Amino acid sequence: MDLNRFNPRQREAITHVGSPLLVLAGAGSGKTSVITHKIAWLIQEAGIPARHITAVTFTNKASREMRERVGNIGPKDQTRGLTVSTFHAFGLNLLRREAGYAGLKSGFSILDAEDTKSILTDLLKRESIDDHDIISKIQHTISNWKNDGLSPEATQIQANDPQSVLAASAYVEYYRYLKACNAVDFDDLILKPVELFRSEPDLLARWRSKVRYLLVDEYQDTNLIQYEMVRLLTQISGALTIVGDDDQSIYAWRGARPENLNELSADFPTLKVIKLEQNYRSTRVILETANTLIARNSHIFEKTLWSDKGFGERIEILPAKTDEDEAERIASLILERRLNLRQQFSDFAVLYRSNHQARILEFKLQHFKIPYKLSGGTSFFARSEIRDLMSYLRLLINPDDDNALLRIINVPRRRIGPTTLEVLGKYARERHQPLYACIPEMGLINRLEPEAARRLAQFHQLIERAQRDLLAGQGMHAIDELLEEINYRGWLSDQSSSEPMAENRWGNVIQLLEALRKDLKHDPEEAIDEDDSNDTAIEAAIRKLVLRDILEREEEEDDSDRVQLATLHAAKGLEFPDVFLMGVEEDLLPHKNSIEADTIEEERRLMYVGITRAKQNLTVTYAKRRKQFGELIETTPSRFLDELPEEHIHWHGKDELAPEIARQKGQDTLSALHAMLKGESV
């Protein structure tokens, strides 16, 4: 394998074996190329079969890119059997194979955050708690406990105040509910495999033999239970490469622990550390500015990024009178630079701390007819028709899934009213059985009005027929027949405000079914591994779609020529020639909650991530007055602006034109640009 295009540190990282390896990969240092070539090197030069190599990361997008790039390095037959996946997809595959050990039946459901909140709302209602804020806090607490590897019993012992006692009690009931429904939630996809590794030595040994070499990307984003999974799988063999950067750890709010990097040395005494400090993305000005800023943080490992991309332009800091003026200034500069520098709209990104900051900018971009795409828009899987169909699929492979049943029992409308559902729910709780299993029982029928019992029976028969056909090998035909029988297309037409909207929604259903067909055909890139699993192909394909639903809510891709609007969290891993950091003010960046909680270092890392997204030009903006609750409130520039090196910044408004003159000049420029775009003479 020819590695001449790599620098010495990169080559060393690619070829190192024999001891655990930590690659400290700074922003723009080529870490993806390093990790993909290392996988290829392990196969081609170290002689490790691809089927025994596993690489894990955090998003489907990242795993797809990694898989594709490895496939392009060498012969495709060499990579057959290679596992490149997210942490959660890896956990799902393990649970599919080891369902019996985990106390799960074939066809178990995966619940998302919305499902979890719905369950907790119902459970807490029995305790006369219906405050949505309290329920959300309990949901977050339970998730954090799972990410820390704590069982319901452990939390009950630790709970020492009224709120934690309530959360611990809810955790116990929630755990019982999941068990009764043959379901797991998103956090369980990591927690349950780790619990199995701890309690089943033979199972752990079997998985260690499967995973003979493990590579972990974005390691600084791992939580405690993810690190435990890595440790248990690899501590004996030491066949491990970890790639991470503590300066880009920005997910503490969801359990990420940059200190996991520090614990590696204790758990792996022979750990080798290689630093990738050459940046291939940004100019010297941008990098030196980022280095100066992040140097104020405490560090587990010291590193200094450098670049040979040239000195570059100074960073512009632009104050604006109001948040509306700020948005207009950004729109004006995008148009100006696009025309003067012959850039594409896709060369620009506007980044901000919180989603609400984008609203006023969207209006300005729309007004000036600047195309844009907004990260975190409505996900394909969040659309109501898709959630309906996914609930039908979930119920077909797991009749114990109460949440799925409750969503679709009246979709289309079957006139099964709340009174009937209340009687069904009460009866099921008394019997400690799932809702679906109770429907045909005589004890329930005797409590219902005859017509209500008949409607429930019809629904039960519908699902029974579809389930028999599905599991008998008729697969997609069974699903098509079900949709035809319930006339779901007609239901969409009735529920839509126009026929084009109805057709668009039906098109989404067709798209989902096509994705299911693709998985059933064992597409080479998305193949479903049936080894050691009791699942049928259709069950595996449906469960895979459920996981994709959860993982891809904010991963929709769009390569068209549009300005990218994104939060700083969503922008991690991306790069753009021209970046705007918007709303760099106290209480926004750093965020007010972080100031109060004294977690400024994470906010500084967010600023660092924003700066290092820029390849050539970086513009930082803030508003002197920002509208809050209908009133303009005085703001203060972020403390981070004072931490930037003076020689690398141009702070507008200091010893410059009077604000009125500058504003008029900007408006004149914008008017001229508009006239040009319309083809008018100026």
Question: Catalytic site residues?
Answer: 31-32, 217-218, 248, 613
Beta partners for residue 634, in sequence order: 625
Residue type, 472: A
**Which structure tokens are listed for 45?**
């030069």
Q: How far apart are alpha carbons 149 and 224 in whole angstroms?
A: 7
- Taking CA atoms, 441 is separated from 400, 417, 619, in Å, by 15, 19, 67
φ, ψ (nearest 5 deg) of residue 471: -80, -10
φ, ψ (nearest 5 deg) of residue 618: -130, 125
The number of CA neighbours under 13 Å toward the Cβ of 270 is 13
Reference 213, options 228, 230, 226, 201; nearest CA is 230
For CA atoms 292, 297, 298, 299, give the dihedral sign. Answer: negative
**Which structure tokens are listed for 232?**
């248990």
Q: How far apart are alpha carbons 672 and 335 in whole angstroms?
A: 11
Instruction: Report the C-alpha dihedral over residues 95, 97, 103, 104, rounded to 10 degrees.
Output: 80
The alpha helices in 148-253, defined as continuous H runs, are: 152-158, 162-180, 188-199, 201-210, 224-234
Q: How far apart are alpha carbons 618 and 613 in whole angstroms?
A: 9
Kind of pairing between the strands at 614-628 and 631-634: antiparallel
Residues 582 and 352: beta-carbon distance below 8 Å: yes
Q: 581 in the Ramachandran plot: left (φ > 0), alpha (ψ -120 to 50) or beta?
A: beta
Q: Which residues, including other chains, have CB under 8 Å from residue 591's CB and lie 6 or more apart?
A: 353, 354, 603
Per residue, the 3-state secondary structure of 632-643, as one string, reads EEECCECHHHHC
**Which structure tokens are listed for 542?**
């449906």
Q: How far apart are alpha carbons 364 and 674 in whole angstroms?
A: 13
**Which structure tokens are listed for 643?**
């931490």
Q: How far apart are alpha carbons 493 and 143 in whole angstroms?
A: 39
Reference 348, options 615, 651, 62; nearest CA is 615
Burial readout 488-509 (b: 16 or more C-beta within 10 A, e: otherwise): bbebbbeebeeeeebeebbebb
Beta partners for residue 183, in sequence order: 109
User: What's the DSSP call for residue 296?
Assistant: T
**Which structure tokens are listed for 532?**
């050691």
Q: How far apart are alpha carbons 112 and 81 in whole angstroms?
A: 29
- Taking CA atoms, 412 is separated from 235, 305, 458, 481, in Å, by 53, 58, 13, 15
**Which structure tokens are listed for 53?**
């190599």
Residues 4 and 11: beta-carbon distance below 8 Å: no
